Amino acid sequence: MKLPKGWKLKKENGKQIVYESEKYQIIIWKKRGDYLVETFRKSPTYKARLFAQSFLKLREAKKFAVDIMGRDKIRKY
């Protein structure tokens, strides 16, 4: 999977996948058979959670994450 410009894969293990850019961080968690996509805004003093959405399949969660990465600004839902 090719990531949009400015994004990189920071960490991938059995429980989470972390994508990161200069201003944002997206984490895909595996929780009880579901996949939770959480989006955070990074700041030097805090990390603010913008929103989270649950999916049944990993490929759906990854597709949603890549769609979010393609946006200029990520806002709360």
Say how many residues make up the chain: 77
Q: What is the pLDDT of residue 76?
A: 65
Distance of alpha carbon 48 from alpha carbon 50, whole angstroms: 6
Domain boundaries, the chain: 8-54
Backbone angles phi, psi at 51, to 5 degrees: -165, 170
Residue 77: what pLDDT?
54
Going from the C-alpha of 29 to that of each of 5, 42, 45, 64, 75, the distances in angstroms are 23, 18, 24, 13, 20
pLDDT at 46: 80
* 47 pLDDT tier (thresholds 50, 70, 90): confident
- Enter the pTM of the model: 0.86
Q: Is 40 exposed, middle or buried (0-12, 13-18, 19+ CB in 10 A)?
A: buried
Q: What is the pLDDT of residues 2-41, one digit of tens each?
A: 888 999 999 999 899 999 999 999 999 998 889 999 999 9
